[in-house]
Amino acid sequence: MGSQGGFGQSKEFLDLVKSIGEARSKAEEDRIVLNEIETLKRRISEPDIPKRKMKEYIIRLVYVEMLGHDASFGYIHAVKMTHDDNLVLKRTGYLAVTLFLNEDHDLIILIVNTIQKDLKSDNYLIVCAALNAVCKLINEETIPAVLPQVVELLGHSKEAVRRKAIMALHRFYQKSPSSVQHLVSNFRKRLCDNDPGVMGATLCPLFDLITVDVNSYKDLVISFVSILKQVAERRLPKSYDYHQMPAPFIQIRLLKILALLGSGDKQASENMYTVVGDIFRKCDSSSNIGNAVLYECICCVSSIYANPKLIESAADIIARFLKSDSHNLKYMGIDALGRLIKTSPEIAEQHQLAVIDCLEDPDDTLKRKTFELLYKMTKSSNVEVIVDRMIDYMISINDNHYKTEIASRCVELAEQFAPSNHWFIQTMNKVFEHAGDLVNIKVAHNLMRLIAEGFGEDDDNADSQLRSSAVESYLRIIGEPKLPSVFLQVICWVLGEYGTADGKFSASYITGKLCDVAEAYSNDETVKAYAITALMKISAFEIAAGRKVDMLPECQSLIEELSASHSTDLQQRAYELEAVIGLDAYAVEIIMPADASCEDIEIDKNLSFLNGYVEQALEKGAQPYIPENERSGMLSVSNFRSQDQHEASIHGLRFEAYELPKPSVPSRPPVSLASATELAPVPEPSYPRVTQNVASVPAVSSTDPSDLRLRLDGVQKKWGRPTYTPSETSTSTSTSEKTVNGVTKVDAARDTIYSKVRDTTYDSRKPDAEIPLEKQKLAASLFGGSSKTERRASTTGHRAGKASSHVIEKPQASKASDKTVAEKTIVQPPPDLLDLGEPAVLSRSPSIDPFKQLEGLLDSPQVPSNSNHGAAGANKDSDIIGLHAETAGSGPSSGIVNPVPTNKNDLDLLSGLSNSTTDNALGGTPTAHSTQVSKGPNTKDSLEKDALVRQMGVTPTSQNPNLFKDLLG
Amino acid sequence: MIKSVMVMNTQGKPRLAKFYDFQPVEKQQELIRSVFGVLCGRADNVSNFVEADSIFGPGTRLVYKHFATLYFVFIFDSSENELAMLDLIQVFVETLDKCFKNLHTILDEIIFGGQVLETSSIEVIKAVEEISKLESASNAIALVSKSVSGWRSR
């Protein structure tokens, strides 16, 4: 099957092909091929082989290589064949070398000369063959050798040659942009070529160039539009038609280019509206290629500056795609939908049922595409349903690559939108359980930290509830076979820290479980290390609490085993545990303080605790220590000492070799630095002094104490806890932040309530409902958010109607959930609480509907303070409900009113809202931790905000700006 | 950009393999095998598209078409349109249908250095025929004169 397949081969070759085709097994095939290789090796080195014979040998080599065997012994003969003057042989030679060799192969140097000569040939077929080889065989170093000839060929009389020369130049650009930088103007020039084929070819390199640098090509918008217009109006020769479509591939390329050029550019986009609209109208949607063009139109429309009419046409096409029976079109429809919802999110709602159908389709490709769409449209109102679906799918597949991807998406969504702490932990557990070894270890560290620090609410009770629920769930899971190592590490750590904290489980019970883990996973040293450290913590807490520690026999044998371990780390841990057990309660409490995982460990860089010892030694006549870099300087001792004492407080000792890695955010404003240090109260007396040091000398930031807890740098988007902010946020006025927050809260609170209602109805009815109903419910929970968007945009009357429909829907919901309530464990927030709570909100809200208030505000900004009060009041109401819904399991005390002082909400709402920079800055709210230590006004603000954000389960990052946009219409 | 074109039979035996980014022989075999692994697991009535990031790296997609005992597979990145690629397979197959020989020549006329060059099967056939005509002409001359200078001077 070489370039001369069909005729002219020897019987030998045909037999070979036939026997390969008939081979019953891979082994048989291999045997035949190895045989063939032997034959070829022998024959090909014979002297004076006739050229036709040689050509066939080369083709047989190609065949052998295609079957996966090494044919490198014959490469040189293929190279030789390119030197031949006979066209057939030359082409065969070129074909073989392009298949055999890569651009860096040693033999290329033998071909470059031939290529140079052939590019100058007056037979255009030889030139084409050479150009073909150029694309494959020329690397960055050899480009200059052929570049002049290729450029010259741009003016060749044959259009096939011009076209290939452009493509070759494009290839050079891909391989080494700098080598042809001075020649890119040629592409512009060739855009005006008389031959449409050549013009079409230039679109490929232009597309690449425009992708890199849009602005230099804005002047071509008009040209591209007019070309596209001509193509669409069938001005090209008939031969460019494909299935009755005028040059569809050129149209597609042009639409791609226009999408790039029009992105975010109103003026450029306006030039395109007419032609894109024309194509929408004219395009034949019955053929595959017609749909390809239509799809490209949608991509273009969603990329350029939005035009309502075009978006409408695009939505129509999407509807047609999604309704089609063809999986290909459905796939394209889902993809197109994902693009279009960026500009107009309400479109997704029309297609909810189609989307759900695709989600349940047996076609994996379609399913994945749909998950991608869902991922794009996730918000706090539908995150639970979407992540649950994703996890179910993740469990069902075996493809590790995709499993990793979907796991990381679950984690990302959960971190970003989690409605409650409990849900977050449960979700993470599921992800870890089923894809634990595939997720990044940082995710595990993040989870531990979240459990340790709580979620920023100033409520220790809620935090400890969370911890005990984590402990309980882990004790349940721990017995399951074959848990991933990462997950076990988390489990061991949490059990060690909090296993006995609430007194529910005895130390010996937890110890027993930990020993079981260490035994069951005896090959995993990391898990064993976590387990033994957890054992040490448990024993330490017991001793510190004054209880007697009984060593379980299995624990004793574990210690013995690890003391003799090959791993020095494990050995050390085992010995440490033994030593700790032998100490008295006072010492143990200092070594292992309870619940101190989030406290900062102070590193005394001056080693001041050694001072007394050093003084003593010096008095006894010891040599003073001289730093290495000063040793040759022969400083006088007294001089050095005074200098040392003087500067110690500023520089400290620096141990370069042990320098901690730089934090991911290199420059940090002093404010947040100080607050970070202050965050966790450290009971050591030296603490205030150090803080002062750090605050006054922020330059020592690379090793500042705040960096010394769990190393989580670079963890993206901690859940509900955005990363450090640029200093503008902390300095920006509290007023705007607060008002903006107030607004978000309204929205999110409503979101949560509605989604909760829907979820409950959906879940509780699932078993006995018919499929369409089930689908509708799913649709409602998935698209609930967007339906609300629409509602908000519509009139007030409409809204009221919808709201009342919710009220009607509710009795069913509560009835249904009553049934399930009994079965539900404490872990699940009882839905009836929520259902009872909601009518209260709804009945109260008509008078002070926050949205109406806001709309009113926008209409008449003169009366902001009054209505704002109302809005704030409403906020509070709904917020309390929201809280109940989320933390109902944690008892009445969890229903804390959010700490935002309402009176501050009176400040100018409009300025806050219009200040888009503040909106963005919100995404990076300073992440102060919850603590009792009082702080400056900025920290306090951020704390409050943080707490608020957490309660809502929404991080108003820039990725979720819709909240604001929707609200403002 | 188109990364690769493969034709294989329903048993996974390669019939044609062309990679526009160089791949060593072993890698080629591995890729062909994994593509076949994906394809043979797919039912008949599903879409012709597969996301191939696990095989060819992020962003790559695969479009295939199943004719009788053959799979035609095009692998490409995000700068191409799936439906259009499906039609390119159609072009390739139509062309082969009209003139089944010189597969590599035909493919070289359709895809050039990973970019779509020609999408009209008639044009492709014209080019291929012209090549074979000239080839046989040069052959004839070579046979007569046993020297190349003869036809080169024409």
Question: Which tokens sit at A962?
Answer: 């819709």
Given B102, B119, B148, which is nearest A85 (Cβ)?
A: B148
Given B53, B82, B120, which is nearest A332 (Cβ)?
A: B82
Please give the mean pLDDT across all residues of chain A. 72
Question: Which tokens sit at A92?
Answer: 């065969």
Question: Which tokens sit at A641?
Answer: 């000492």
Residue of A nearest to B2 (CA): A204
Q: Is B113 on the interface with A (CB under 8 A)?
A: yes
Low-confidence residues of chain A: pLDDT under 50? 1-7, 635-636, 638, 640, 643-644, 647-649, 666-769, 785-847, 856-857, 859-937, 949, 953-969
Q: Is B82 on the interface with A (CB under 8 A)?
A: yes
Phi-psi region of A546 (alpha: psi -120 to 50; beta: other; left: phi over 0): left
> Which residues in chain A have Cβ-Cβ distances shorter than 8 Å to B15?
1
A126: Cβ–Cβ under 8 A, 6 or more apart, which residues?
Answer: A87, A90, A118
> Is B138 within 8 Å of A88 when comparing Cβ atoms?
yes
Which residue in A345, A787, A376, A334 sits closest to A776, CA to CA? A787
User: At what angle are helices A159-175 and A196-212 packed, to 10 degrees?
Assistant: 10
> Is A289 within 8 Å of B84 when comparing Cβ atoms?
yes
Question: Is residue B16 helix, strand or coil?
Answer: strand
Q: How far apart are the first and last CA of chain A?
A: 63
Apex CA A477: angle with CA A473 and CA A480, to 5°?
A: 170
Chain B interface, mutation test: which of A105, A134, A174, A289, most B Cβ atoms within 10 Å?
A289
How many residues are there in chain A?
969
CA distance B105 to chain A (A): 6
> Is B118 within 8 Å of A197 when comparing Cβ atoms?
yes
CA distance A198 to chain B (A): 9
> Which residues in chain B have Cβ-Cβ distances shorter than 8 Å to A239?
120, 122-123
Q: Is B14 on the interface with A (CB under 8 A)?
A: yes
> Is B83 within 8 Å of A291 when comparing Cβ atoms?
yes
> Is B115 within 8 Å of A167 when comparing Cβ atoms?
yes
> Is B26 within 8 Å of A163 when comparing Cβ atoms?
no
- Which ipTM value was assigned to this complex? 0.82
CA distance B94 to chain A (A): 12
> Which residues in chain A have Cβ-Cβ distances shorter than 8 Å to B119?
242, 248-249
Q: Is B93 on the interface with A (CB under 8 A)?
A: no
pTM of the model: 0.63
Residue of A nearest to B49 (CA): A365
Q: Is the pLDDT at B74 greater than 80, yes or no?
A: yes
Residue of A nearest to B131 (CA): A125
Q: Is B10 on the interface with A (CB under 8 A)?
A: no
Residue of B nearest to A122 (CA): B152
Residue of B nearest to A361 (CA): B46
Output the pLDDT for position A223: 93
Residue of A nearest to B107 (CA): A3
DSSP assignment of A57-112: HHHHHHHHHHTT---GGGHHHHHHHHT-SSHHHHHHHHHHHHHH--TT-GGGHHHH
Which residue in A903, A949, A952 sits closest to A925, CA to CA? A949
Q: Quick: pLDDT tens for A650-687.
A: 555 555 566 556 655 544 444 444 444 444 444 444 44
Residue of B nearest to A204 (CA): B115
Given B17, B28, B134, which is nearest A125 (Cβ)?
A: B134
